[in-house]
Structure 1
Amino acid sequence: MEENKPSNFIKNIIRKDLEDGKNDGRIHTRFPPEPNGYLHIGHAKSICLNFGLAEEFGGKCNLRFDDTNPLKEDTEYVDSIKEDVKWLGFDWGETEFYASDYFDRFYELAVQLVNDGKAYVDSLTPEEIKEYRGTLKEPGKESPFRDRTPAENLELLEKMKNGEFKEGECVLRAKIDMSSPNMNMRDPIIYRIAHSEHHRTGDKWCIYPMYDFAHGLEDSIEGVTHSICTLEFEDHRPLYDWFLEQLGVFHPQQIEFARLNLTYTMMSKRNLLTLVNEGYVSGWDDPRMPTIAGLRRRGYTAQSIKNFSEMIGVSKANSIVEYAQLEYCVREDLNKIAQRVMVVTDPLKVVITNYPEDKEEMLDAENNPENESDGKREIPFCRDIYIERDDFMENPPKKYFRLSPGQEMRLKHAYYIKCEEVVKDDNGEIVELRCTYDPASRGGWTDDGRRVKGTAHWVSARHYIEAEVRLYDHLFTIPNPGRRKKGEVFTDNVDPDSLKVITAFAEPSLADVKPLQSYQFLRIGYFTSDKDSVSGKPVFNRTVGLKDTWAKMQGASS
């Protein structure tokens, strides 16, 4: 068992169960995604929690696919979920399961409920079932088909299974209490008809169990001891318990925690699917999406997501976490591992007039000052270079330390230069600076003790490569797109300018990058090479800027 990890109420429950010898000292959790979409950052929190609990307390964690709805499921989603869990660093070993593994067993248990008079086939229409269910203020009404005998129900259930009814013509319902204050207990549906091929069982079944029926039984069959769910399942727990108690099977303990809500994002897979299908994003792995695939492509590291999950903790109270807190975590991680490189995003040409026109030299540059073992690389330097346009100001204010007429500036890894002349076009736009350099300042320092405060990055005009740089911002214009004005749909708040694409000039070491390599573009931010990169034409996604807004917010509130 690992020590010195932050505690929470779920860990306290587990420790108490271990002390009491409950479940023979076993700890068994599970991560049970539905394969109907890609996982998002909220699922990442659940993955870290469930697998983390198993690791910390020496138990097991199953990866289980709740594939009970063939209308929405696909093997693409199964594969993406496996990739995401592995990428986060968790191994489920031999414990990969599917709800569809238990379809025969589910049906047997449904038959048991029918025989015991605790389930019935209802022939009300879907609209009538909804009407009979009642409201939060009014009790429901019992179906006129509720008193069918077990024999009648078994015959009808068999016909349902054999495909003799159309979809919506009838359902199997549990017989509980139509006047219960908990709507979930008002004779919930157990099985519905769906004449759809399943991605694993093919056309063997045309009836499929509802999630509330299958959920607890899956946990029971697999021997799960602690069934960790998000808070919206709290009202479903009585139903979870009812099925297990009525069937007399092993009874895991369901525990609920608050799901992750993150500013500027939507966590509903239904809404995320809308964004994909309606072309607001390029796909599930679009770097603006809160999916694990999208965050990975944008450059978020597995460790940063784990750190974020641990930092926000586990609670019973719903809250909204600032996106800047997630950015803080990735910035902290990338600062340790990202190679520093020079990329100019808005080029302004500089001609160093006293540097030999035919000369070229290689200058040493450290790859990462946070990690000396990353070594150094060589970058080419020549008479003509490019700097950022905003690193020059013709009429600077006081305490402006970068380049201006008659003022010196340090070129990172190179020399001091001084602006001697400003060249403009016919429209008065600055097109070139003519500067001189100090040969004694190679490496950015001089023996005379002179220090220049302003430092800029640059690239050689003879050696740079063009790079496509994708500047991503929040996909939504408001912090909580789930709350919107009357008459609005959530897509009304999609930011049309959440992606800007520019062509930048990059140092030649970036010509042949591999996908998902992280870099710090000096003085700009952290960027990650995209899968669209090809030899000589790299593509970079902005992961996060250098500015730490969350840490500043914390400092202001302390």
Structure 2
Amino acid sequence: MMGLEEIIYKYALINAVKHKGKAMEKAVIGAVMSNEPQLRKKAQKVLEETKNIVEKVNKLTPREQEEELKRLGIKVEEKRGAEKKKKELPPLPNIKEKVILRFAPNPSGPLHIGHARAAILNHEYAKKYNGKLILRMEDTDPRRVDPQAYKMIQEDLEWLGIKWDQLIIQSDRIPTYYDHAKKLLQEGGGYICTCKPERFKKLKDESKPCPCRNLPKEENLKRWEKMRGMSEGEAVLRVKTDLKHRNPAIRDWVGLRIVEEAHPRTGRKYRIYPTMNFAVTIDDHLLGITHVLRGKDHITNTEKQKYLYNHFNWEPPTFIHYGRLHMDNIQLSTSKTRKGIQEGTYKGWDDPRLGTIRAIKRRGIQAQAIREAMIEIGAKIADSTLSWEKIYGLNKNIVDEIADRYFFVSDPIPFKIRNLPEDLKATIKRPLHPDHPERGYRQIPFNGRVYIQKEDLKGAKLLRLVDAVNVKIKNKDLEYHSSSLKEARRHNARIIHWVPIEGSIPANVIMPSTKIIEGLIEPDAKKLKTDQLVQLERFGFARVDKTNKKIIFYYTHK
């Protein structure tokens, strides 16, 4: 039969496991009084004992709390909360035929978490409707193309679990854009403008046509042919819109222009390149795109493109604009990141301070966590905020199940425990994962010579070395006190992890700030493989980056 302290201890553990490792004193008292009516007459004693017991329970790690409940034979229903219903995206409007979507990045660098939203939403909707997803590289500005990005983007998408049905590279389609440029001129929907940019802007701002706007079609077609021999800035093809439009940016926008710089893929084969709005409109129509999902910062582009649809008498796709995605303390600008890499501020596209898919992957965050976050945010018009804490929470639900456990001691201090009985020296077996004994056990030799974390010594009088012994701190040394866990609890000992001096392996953990935490890890860590996810007990989750004489980890989160 349980005594008063054991009963309170039980309810404190249950409450802690239900609330992310933190038991609440009032809730524990309420549970005791509600479920143990025989103790109501001892209410004062319950109040007195609960405070100390809750403090003791809250010093345990969440995993230790769960292990204690298992030891007591208590099962908490769905210890991490009831399984939430899987989030689904709302239906797409205007479903008339096979749904065809596209993800259309500019190959100026690898993808970042902002791109992931567009990619994942388009992929999820393609799956939802058994439709088609096109990956389209929008590379019609040679000045913004990174030759490595074509491959990096595809690698990033593959890691995210995104499969595309067709790959389109716009620089392969320049003749198609030329054909439609000529057709636009023939139908009077565009004109070749040779006005100086400053002159055109002044007229545009006054809602007045430039002298080129009303030239005959024949003259525009002649100018189109001559344009191939002109220099950059001498002429552009403009798409006719409404010169009185409230937004001057929409008035007669540029559809094609001359770019002298060589293209990384096609060299100097072409000198006239379509702008994004021109190429996108042509491709979306010819590829049969039914729905365009993109940020609301593209609303002006959508309005521009609709003029081109009207000129060609095409039916536009359904446009869906979603709100901005805000993330604090994260670098998403590709140009700033590239500059930072060139200047040595960042170590590469996978620097842990960045928000690139590569950096996220290197830290051990799972693609599924990113997918779940983006599906939850969805394609709503309202702006959204995504915190690292949200991503960490989703990721923990995934990695907690797959990560094997190991002891890692940062800032290690060596000790030889004095007066340790010989019969307590042994090889300690500890499961790789507490919920999966079938995975096997770690072998941790214990002979009294151990490394302990400097932080764990502060303010402590009695320490419990997990699965080993209890020691007291005496004259900056450790002395054997007792062996039982019960005795440690009775004396309110601090429960800590440790590693043996013999066989321990040097290990560094690279934090998201790039700060390096140096330490030592238990001997069985020599079996770890690159890319393996682990939980360094009482420290956090991490991904194995390198395994040589020293193991290098990238920190994931708590």
TM-score for both structures, normalised by structure 2:
0.79
Deviation at 1:217, TM superposition (A): 1.6
1:247 and 2:326 equivalent? Answer: no
Compared CA separation, residues 201 and 312, structure 1 to 2 (3 A): same
| Aligned with residue 40 of structure 1, among 88, 95, 112 | 112
Distance 1:215 1:146 in 2: 24
* Corresponding letter in the other structure for 1:457: H
Q: 1:100 to 1:29 in 2, by over 3 A?
A: same
- Name the structure 1 match of 2:510: 470
Residue 167 of structure 2 corresponds to which residue in structure 1? 96
Letter in 2 for 1:83: E
Q: Which moved more, 1:241-250 or 1:214-223?
A: 241-250
Supply the distance in 2 between the matched residues of 1:132 and 1:76 (Cα, whole angstroms): 41
Once the two structures are TM-superposed, the CA of residue 248 in structure 1 deviates from its matched residue by 3.0
- For residues 202 and 524 of structure 1, what CA distance do their matches in structure 2 show? 52
Cα offset, 1:122, TM superposition: 1.3
Give the 3 Å change call, closer, same or farther, for CA 188–257 of structure 1 in structure 2.
Answer: same
Check conservation: 1:194, 1:208, Cα contact below 8 A.
yes
Report SS of the residue matched to 1:71: helix
Q: From 402, 417, 429, give the equivalent of 2:470.
A: 417
Distance, in Å, in 2 between the alignment partners of 1:511 and 1:165 is 65
What is the SS of the residue equivalent to 1:197? coil
> Is the 1:386–1:461 contact (alpha carbons within 8 Å) kept by the matching residues of 2?
yes
> Whole-Å Cα distance in 2 between the matches of residues 434 and 152 of structure 1?
94
Aligned to 1:537: 550
1:175 aligns with 2:229: no
Give me the whole-angstrom Cα distance separating, in 2, the residues matched to 1:499 and 1:238.
Answer: 44
- The one-letter code matched in structure 2 to 1:417 is N
Counterpart selection for 2:498 from 453, 458, 481: 458
Report the CA distance shift for 1:504/1:238 in structure 2 as closer, same or farther (over 3 A).
same
CA distance in 2, matches of 1:277, 1:126: 33
Contact 1:73 1:199 (8 Å CA) reproduced: yes
**Residue type at the aligned position of 1:411:** L
Secondary structure in 1 matching 2:442:
strand
For residue 36 of structure 1, what is the amino acid of its counterpart? S
Alignment of 1:65 onto 2:65: no
Compare 299-308 and 235-244 and name the one that shifted more: 235-244
Partners of 1:449 and 1:459 lie apart in 2 by: 22
**Residue aligned with 1:168, SS:** coil
User: Any gaps of 5 or more consecutive residues in structure 2?
Assistant: 1-84
In the alignment, which residue of structure 1 is the partner of 2:543? Answer: 528
Supply the distance in 2 between the matched residues of 1:249 and 1:190 (Cα, whole angstroms).
17
Mark the CA change 1:238 to 1:92 in structure 2 (over 3 Å): closer, same or farther: same
Query: Per-residue deviation at 1:51?
Result: 0.3
- The answer to whether 1:13 aligns with 2:78 is no
Distance 1:358 1:281 in 2: 53
Change (3 A) 1:514 1:71: farther
Asked if structure 2 preserves the Cα contact closer than 8 Å seen for 1:114 and 1:153, the reply is yes
Q: 2:523 aligns to what?
A: 508
User: CA 1:345 to 1:275, structure 2 compared with 1: closer, same or farther past 3 Å?
Assistant: same
3-state SS, counterpart of residue 144 of structure 2: coil
Cα distance per residue 1:484-519 (max 9 Å; x no partner): xxxxxxxxxxxxxx3322321111233464333222
Letter in 2 for 1:13: L
Deviation at 1:291, TM superposition (A): 0.7
Q: Distance in 2 between matches of 1:155 and 1:172?
A: 12
SS of residue in 2 equivalent to 1:379:
strand
Map of 1:75 onto structure 2: 147
Q: Secondary structure at the match of 1:12?
A: coil
Measured in 2, the distance between the counterparts of 1:144 and 1:371 equals 78
**Aligned-residue offset at 1:113:** 0.8
- 2:10 matched residue in structure 1: none
Residues 411 and 519, structure 2, Cα contact 8 Å, conserved in 1: yes
Task: Kindly report which structure 2 residues correspond to 1:8-407, keeping only aligned pairs within 5 A, or say none.
Answer: 8=89, 11-14=90-93, 17-18=94-95, 22=96, 25-93=97-165, 95-134=166-205, 139-161=206-228, 164-249=229-314, 251-355=316-420, 361-393=426-458, 396=459, 403-404=460-461, 407=462
**Percent sequence identity over aligned pairs:** 31
Q: CA deviation at 1:56?
A: 1.3
What SS is found at the alignment partner of 2:381? Answer: coil
Per-residue deviation, residues 66-106 of structure 1 (Å, max 9, x unmatched): 1111111123111111011111112114x111122322111
The CA deviation string for residues 440-481 of structure 1, in whole angstroms up to 9 with x for no partner, is 54xx678x9978653211111121111122222xxxxxxxxx
CA contact (8 A) 1:512 1:536 kept: no
Alpha-carbon shift at residue 357 of structure 1 (Å): 8.6
Superposed CA RMSD in Å reads: 2.5
- Structure 1 residue identity aligned to 2:183: Q
> Comparing 368-377 with 47-56, which one deviates more in the overlay?
368-377
1:166-201 Cα offsets, whole Å, 9 max, x none, are: 111211111222221133421100111112232333
Distance 1:358 1:449 in 2: 22
Secondary structure (helix, strand or coil) at the match of 2:335 reads: helix
- Measure the CA separation in 2 of the matches of 1:339 and 1:129: 66
Query: RCO (CA 8 Å, sep 6+): is it higher in 1 or 2?
Result: 1
Letter in 1 for 2:536: F
Over 3 Å counting, the alpha-carbon distance change for 1:376 and 1:113 in structure 2 is: same
Q: Distance in 2 between matches of 1:390 and 1:217?
A: 63
Whole-Å separation in 1 of the counterparts to 2:198 and 2:400: 57
- Give 1:340 shift: 1.3
CA distances 1:94-141 after superposition (whole Å, capped 9, x unpaired): x1111223221111111011111221111123344444442xxxx443
Does the 8 A contact of 2:327 with 2:387 survive in 1?
yes
SS in 1 for 2:383: coil
Q: Which residue of 2 aligns with 1:434?
A: 478
Instruction: Give the AA of the match of 1:100.
Output: S
How far 1:278 sits from its partner (Å)? 3.3
2:507 alignment partner, SS class: strand
Q: CA deviation at 1:7?
A: 5.0
Distance (whole Å) between structure 1 residues aligned to residue 311 and residue 366 of structure 2: 46
Structure 1 gaps of 5+ residues are 397-402, 424-432, 473-497, 547-558
| Count of residues paired in the alignment | 474
- What amino acid is the match of 2:123? F
* Cα deviation, residue 274, structure 1: 3.4
Residues 207-253 of structure 1 show CA distances to partners (whole Å, capped at 9, x for unaligned) of 11000111122111111111111111112222222212211345322
Determine which structure has the larger helix proportion and give its number: 2
Q: Distance in 1 between matches of 2:465 and 2:139?
A: 58
CA contact (8 A) 2:236 2:256 kept: yes
Distance in 1 separating the partners of 2:199 and 2:489: 87
Residues 140 and 516 from structure 1, CA distance in 2 versus in 1: closer, same or farther, beyond 3 angstroms? farther
Query: Counterpart of 2:264 in structure 1: which amino acid?
Result: H
Letter in structure 2 aligned against 1:261: H
Task: Give the SS at the match of 2:157.
Answer: helix
Does the C-alpha gap of structure 1 residues 354 and 236 become closer, same or farther in structure 2, counting only changes over 3 Å?
Answer: same
CA apart distance, 1:159: 2.6
Match of 2:105, SS state, is coil
Give secondary structure in 2 for the equivalent of 1:144. coil
